[in-house]
Structures are given as C-alpha cells and as structure tokens.
Chain A
C-alpha cells in the first residue's frame, strides 16, 4: 500500500516565477492538507482540500492556491515566488477531516 507521494523531490526557481507541486494521497484517503516547513521550524498549515473544494485555509496570501482532482490527488500552486517561499512543502492525507494525517516526504523548493 503506497503512502503519500509527492513530486518533484526538489525544485529550484527564481523570484517571480510560478511553481506547481503535486501530491497523491494514501490509498482510501479523500482529504489532503498542505503545509510549509521553513528550515528549523515546524510545519505551517496552508490549506486543506476535501471533495475538490478548499475547506480550510491558514494565514497564507492568495499567491498560494490549490486544486483537488476527482481521484483525490492535489496540486499546490505558488505564483510570484519570493525568496521567503523557500521551504519544504509537505502534503498530508487523511480519511476525513478528523482522522490522523499521514505526511509525504515533501518537496524542497529553493527560490533564488
């Protein structure tokens, strides 16, 4: 049983560019949450998707947007990249909004 998978593993972009990160949830899970983890910090909640809709959102600007597909996979899009967006982006999936969240290995984004 595959766990949560994310792609790509690493990504290097320059300021002002746009990036798309992808996540496939654990089999049977329908809820996907995205987190940003800066170096030396704990993960910070970006938003959560359920039934293809954004259900909750953390304190992140509109440059951060997402999407969930009918097969429950999800994308995180970040526009107009800033140096401060450099971080590990984690995807977590769960059976529903109250279930335990299982994390993927993350995508490390570097903005130059």
Chain B
C-alpha cells in the first residue's frame, strides 16, 4: 500500500460547480497536510496548509483533514476555467519529508 493514494483523474466538471478532491494515507505519523496546484510545465504552487484535523477556508478553497479516517479533501467552490490544473495532495510528519500524491488532473468546462 502506498503511503499516499490519490485518484489521478481526469476529473471534468462544468464551470460554477463545486469540486471535491480527495486523498487517503496510511502513515498515522503525518500531521501536516498540504494541497498544491500545478499548471502544465510549471512548478507546484501551495494552495492550502493545515495542521492536524479540522477545516481551513481560504476564499473559494476549503481544506478538510480527518486524521481518524486518514482522509483529506479539498473543495473548490464556484469553479472557474482557470482552476483547470493538476492538484497534488502532500503531507509530512516530524521528519519534515514531504510525501506527495500522484495528483488529480482537473478540467473545468466553460
């Protein structure tokens, strides 16, 4: 079992819809959870950073962490064509090594 599992997609949704992206993980030592957005031929860009369980909201983005289920989510409200990108979940524990998921390719259809 891989440490971090993420459905690679692609996921296609119409503009304006709510997008739900998810990852599961197996290492209970993870305590820092991140979501990165990566456009084609670019480096990853940090979107959300959360510590331990709970919710965090930033504009149209909401990150959720459920440590009991080892499950994290990213919600995008009022999705825009400019949100089309690959979304990478990432997590780390006390050793600070960041483990990434494979990424989910998201297409927002105008």
* B59 on the A face (CB < 8 A): no
Query: In the complex, how many residues of chain A place their beta carbon closer than 8 angstroms to a beta carbon of chain B?
Result: 23
Interface residues of A in 20-40 (CB under 8 A from B): 33, 40
Cβ of B99 to closest chain A Cβ, rounded Å: 7
A103: interface (CB < 8 Å): yes
B106 within 8 A of A: no
Query: Looking at A42, A97, A103, A104, which has the most chain B CB atoms within 10 Å of its CB?
Result: A42
Q: Decide if the interface of chain B is mainly helix, strand, loop or mixed.
A: loop
On chain B, the number of residues with a Cβ less than 8 Å from chain A's Cβ atoms is 22
Question: How far does the alpha carbon of A44 sit from the alpha carbon of B101 in the complex, in Å?
Answer: 9
Most chain A CB inside 10 Å of its own CB: which residue of B6, B44, B100: B44
Within 8 A of A (CB), among B27-64: 36, 41-46, 49
Give A108's nearest chain B residue, CB to CB. B41
Taking CB atoms, residues of chain B closer than 8 Å to A106 are 42-43
Secondary structure type dominating chain A contacts: loop
Most-contacted residue by chain B among A44, A90, A98, A103 (CB, 10 A): A103
- How far, in whole Å, are A42 and B45 apart by their CA atoms in the complex? 13
A8 interface residue (CB < 8 Å to B)? no
Interface residues of A in 24-64 (CB under 8 A from B): 33, 40-45, 48, 56, 58
Distance (whole angstroms) from the CB of A97 to the closest CB of chain B: 5
Which residue of chain A has its CB nearest to the CB of B100?
A42
- B79 CB to closest chain A CB, in angstroms? 22
Q: Given A56-B96, A97-B96: A41 and B46 within 8 A (CB)?
A: no
Where the two chains meet, the residues of B that have a C-beta atom closer than 8 Å to any C-beta of A are 4, 6, 8, 36, 41-46, 49, 88, 90, 95-103
A-B contact pairs, 7 of them (CB 8 A): A40-B103, A42-B100, A43-B44, A44-B100, A98-B96, A105-B41, A108-B41
